[in-house]
Amino acid sequence: MPDEQPGAPRLDPAVAARLRRNADGLVPAIAQQYDTGEVLMLAWMDDEALRRTLATGRGTYWSRSRQSYWVKGETSGHTQRVHSVALDCDGDTLLLRVDQQGPACHTGDRTCFDAGDLPLAAQ
């Protein structure tokens, strides 16, 4: 993650203290459509991505491939208005309930899980 700038806003210390980050300083963030319950995607946040998300109400993530922040929909227009953010029981996963405009997936699918059912032997 980028070095902090002096005087830059920081994530609420009470929230930061609850986060359990991986070795890269990241936690997975699940985005769920707030009204239909669809699981849309999973992306990653560091403290600053979470701070921006909480401050702006727009889903903001850390791109591991591009090593930069991205605001969902900034280029595609498929924005994510955040209704709530919950941290799980052990502080290592976030659940965002969002209002997703259009497809959440870069493939054009509504969710990132629409194309991939795996063969299940038993029910």
* Binding site feature residues for Zn(2+): 89, 105, 112
Indicate the residue type of 114.
Answer: D
| CB distance 79 to 15 below 8 Å | no
Q: Does 37 participate in binding a second copy (rule CB under 8 A)? A: yes
Q: What whole-number distance in Å separates Cα of residue 19 and Cα of residue 90?
A: 8
**How far, in Å, CA of 8 to CA of 76, rounded?**
28
Applying CB under 8 A, among 12, 21, 25, 79 the residue interacting with a second copy is 12
Answer for which of 1, 21, 57, 78 binds a second copy (CB under 8 A) is: 57
71 binds a second copy (CB under 8 A): no
Among 56, 63, 68, 76, contact with a second copy (rule: CB under 8 A): 56
Nearest alpha-carbon partner for 52 in 36, 34, 75, 29: 29
The Cα 95–Cα 2 span in angstroms is 24
Residues that bind a second copy (CB under 8 A): 12, 15, 18, 28, 30, 32, 36-39, 41-42, 50, 54-57, 81-91, 93, 95, 105-107, 109, 112-123
